[in-house]
Chains A and B, each alone.
Chain A
């Protein structure tokens, strides 16, 4: 049985449908990428999976995670799943960290919430996590405020927060889009390595991006989304070699053009 089973997921604001009947499934330890232009509904799809779609949105369909339906569950019940079983890395590390809180405390938060660790134990674990995401001198880094770190370092903190509780599944929403090109590759490598290196079963990854070039490095399965619907899906290699849908062809052509320039 798959870890995550999304069936007929539809998200609408009033009568405007922004995610239209999306279905896919992800196995434990699987790697899936969702690609699409901005406004294609890929981020909203991800947020709906963990029940964080805006209050004004109507979400219908079915999201089964580990055999349990998540859609329609109370916020309180969902918050036990979030961070513990499904975690998320956000697009912009400038804004996804609390500017007034030392980063170590922010990494320690999910551990205190889900593993009931006390302040000291959680901070010690945070130091270790910061080391694992490749931050230099973790014992000092945990005492820094977000504005004292570079963009790449901040996103490593974001990854450390997401992986703190060793979730069964990680949603990464354009995690490298806001970073300088030189830092992108490093952060991507850290992400791919840590997702694979979970204790026991490795973490499943749902990677959201608009950049086709990043996909082969992190995913083996690809969903192409446009205007809220999935237009094509399949193994990454097959899709890149032999795209069937016009939109997929356009995306690939555009990516090749940028690479040549």
Chain B
């Protein structure tokens, strides 16, 4: 079985992994559908069609200006998925690079990098995003870059601590004692062992990025020519007291996407850890070929007993 398939199988083994995959599958399907078929232009008001109820023509009804809500939700899925994934990628690159570097370089260099990280963390992400949006306009790339950079510095701090923890383990000293170079130690020993923490953090970051983008759109700070869930919330909010129902569609979509990323992160972390993947008991029953119990080892033989 290819490694990718095996990881997917292991993700599906945990309840949170299954839920995460299911929720994100909904979002992905919405994105795919949006490229094939959007029933109405989600941005064009249709006079006279305001507040239509659920019908075959309008699956989710329409808003105060007669825009089709279903079209808005599936078109907005593109924005949220893209922003979630790109922000997490940007944050992952910045966070891993700064975090690991500041932990493995000589003390003086590492401490200096750590101070720079602390200063960067003090810059509020949302302010950074506002500045970048003001300078470069409200493109999705700018939004993702700003959110990714902001959360990347936080991730760097977490991963610096995590790398330090890994570095204190005997197997790092053991690797050095058998002549492993620093670069090789980073790739073979440090990165795999900080991955569980990084993955959970990144899944949280992806979720937060989706919410941050929605917040910026809600404030009207992103491009107005692009349908997104935040923008729908902004428009529906104006008529919230008159007709509160429709806000559930973009709101629910946001919950599905954010929860999906967070649960997928949990499942992925468990899938990548061989100690969680197969405990001893499960191993004995499912993979007897992997258990090594010599006849002359009473301790191990004893462990085998409760089969």
Where the two chains meet, the residues of A that have a C-beta atom closer than 8 Å to any C-beta of B are 47, 50, 52, 55, 75-76, 79-84, 87-88, 90-92, 95-101, 109-110, 113-114, 135-137, 140-141, 143-145, 147-153, 158, 161-162, 164, 180, 182-183, 186
Most buried by B among A79, A97, A110, A135: A79
Cα(A155)–Cα(B84), bound, Å: 45
Where the two chains meet, the residues of B that have a C-beta atom closer than 8 Å to any C-beta of A are 106-107, 169-171, 173-182, 184, 188-189, 192-193, 272-275, 280, 283, 289-300, 303
Contact of A95 with B274 at beta-carbon distance under 8 Å, contacts A88-B177, A148-B280 already known? no
Whether the pair B170, A183 counts as a contact (CB closer than 8 A) is no
Cα(A90)–Cα(B291), bound, Å: 24
Q: Please indicate the chain A residues that have their CB under 8 angstroms from the CB of B178 in the complex.
A: 82-83, 87-88, 109-110, 113, 161-162, 164
Cα(A101)–Cα(B280), bound, Å: 17
Whether the pair A90, B170 counts as a contact (CB closer than 8 A) is yes
Q: Please indicate the chain A residues that have their CB under 8 angstroms from the CB of B298 in the complex.
A: 182
Contact of A82 with B299 at beta-carbon distance under 8 Å, contacts A135-B292, A145-B274, A147-B274 already known? no
Whether the pair A96, B171 counts as a contact (CB closer than 8 A) is yes
Determine which of B169, B174, B292 lies in contact with A88 in the assembled complex, contact meaning CB atoms within 8 Å: B174
Determine which of A79, A97, A153, A158 lies in contact with B297 in the assembled complex, contact meaning CB atoms within 8 Å: A153
**A56: nearest chain-B partner, CB-CB:** B107
Complex A-B: 13 CB contacts under 8 Å: A52-B176, A83-B180, A90-B170, A90-B177, A92-B170, A95-B170, A110-B179, A113-B184, A141-B292, A145-B274, A153-B294, A164-B178, A186-B296
Cα(A145)–Cα(B192), bound, Å: 14
Whether the pair B188, A101 counts as a contact (CB closer than 8 A) is yes
Q: Please indicate the chain B residues that have their CB under 8 angstroms from the CB of A88 in the complex.
A: 174, 177-178
Most buried by A among B274, B295, B298: B274
Whether the pair B289, A55 counts as a contact (CB closer than 8 A) is no
Q: Please indicate the chain A residues that have their CB under 8 angstroms from the CB of B184 in the complex.
A: 113
Instruction: Give the Cβ gap from A148 to chain B, nearest Cβ, in Å.
Output: 6
Q: Please indicate the chain A residues that have their CB under 8 angstroms from the CB of B175 in the complex.
A: 98, 109
Whether the pair A144, B177 counts as a contact (CB closer than 8 A) is no
Cα(A162)–Cα(B177), bound, Å: 9
Q: Please indicate the chain B residues that have their CB under 8 angstroms from the CB of A143 in the complex.
A: 290
Cα(A183)–Cα(B179), bound, Å: 28
Cα(A97)–Cα(B193), bound, Å: 12
Q: Please indicate the chain B residues that have their CB under 8 angstroms from the CB of A50 in the complex.
A: 177
Cα(A83)–Cα(B184), bound, Å: 15
Cα(A243)–Cα(B110), bound, Å: 50
Contact of A100 with B169 at beta-carbon distance under 8 Å, contacts A82-B177, A90-B174 already known? no
Q: Please indicate the chain A residues that have their CB under 8 angstroms from the CB of B274 in the complex.
A: 99-100, 145, 147
Q: Please indicate the chain A residues that have their CB under 8 angstroms from the CB of B177 in the complex.
A: 50, 52, 82-83, 87-88, 90
Q: Please indicate the chain A residues that have their CB under 8 angstroms from the CB of B106 in the complex.
A: 55
Whether the pair A95, B289 counts as a contact (CB closer than 8 A) is no
Question: Given A55-B107, A75-B182, A99-B274, 15 more contacts at CB 8 Å?
Answer: A76-B181, A82-B177, A87-B177, A96-B173, A98-B171, A98-B175, A100-B272, A113-B180, A113-B181, A114-B179, A144-B290, A147-B280, A148-B283, A151-B299, A152-B300
